């Protein structure tokens, strides 16, 4: 079964880009190599700061649209929560 990822990339100049893909590794390489023009190549390096997976494209697209409508502060909060939960899982 195919899964879809909604992700947030942080660029070298601290810009937050939100996107959607069915293959996160491929999409990240496209960003890094300048294949897709949605992120400027000169803003590299890019770091994936947040990822959320969905079973359907419809659900993922809905979530992407929701996140894109958020202010930066709210995006930073979900990134921070993910980092905190990841640290807690490693402990």
Return the CATH number at 41: 3.40.1440.10
Question: Alpha-carbon distance 62 to 57, whole Å?
Answer: 8
Helices (H), 1-91: 24-32, 57-68, 72-90
User: Per-residue pLDDT tens for 35-84?
Assistant: 766 766 667 778 899 999 999 999 999 999 999 999 999 999 999 988 77
**How many residues are there in the chain?**
91
The number of helices, as runs of H, and strands, as runs of E, in the chain is 3, 3
Using a cut of 0.75, tell me whether the model's pTM lies above it.
Answer: yes
* CB contact at 8 A, 51 and 23: no
By residue range, what is the domain housing residue 15? Answer: 4-90
Question: Number of structural domains, the chain?
Answer: 1
Tokens of 28: 């990240």
């Amino acid at each position: 079964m195919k899964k879809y990822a909604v992700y947030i990339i942080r660029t070298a100049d601290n810009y937050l880009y939100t996107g959607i893909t069915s293959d996160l590794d491929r999409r990240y390489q496209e960003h890094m190599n300048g294949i897709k023009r949605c992120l400027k190549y000169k803003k590299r390096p890019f770091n994936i700061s947040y990822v959320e997976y969905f079973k359907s494209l419809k659900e993922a697209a809905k979530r992407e649209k929701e996140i894109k409508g958020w202010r930066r502060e709210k995006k930073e909060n979900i990134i921070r929560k993910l980092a905190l939960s990841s640290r807690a899982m490693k402990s």
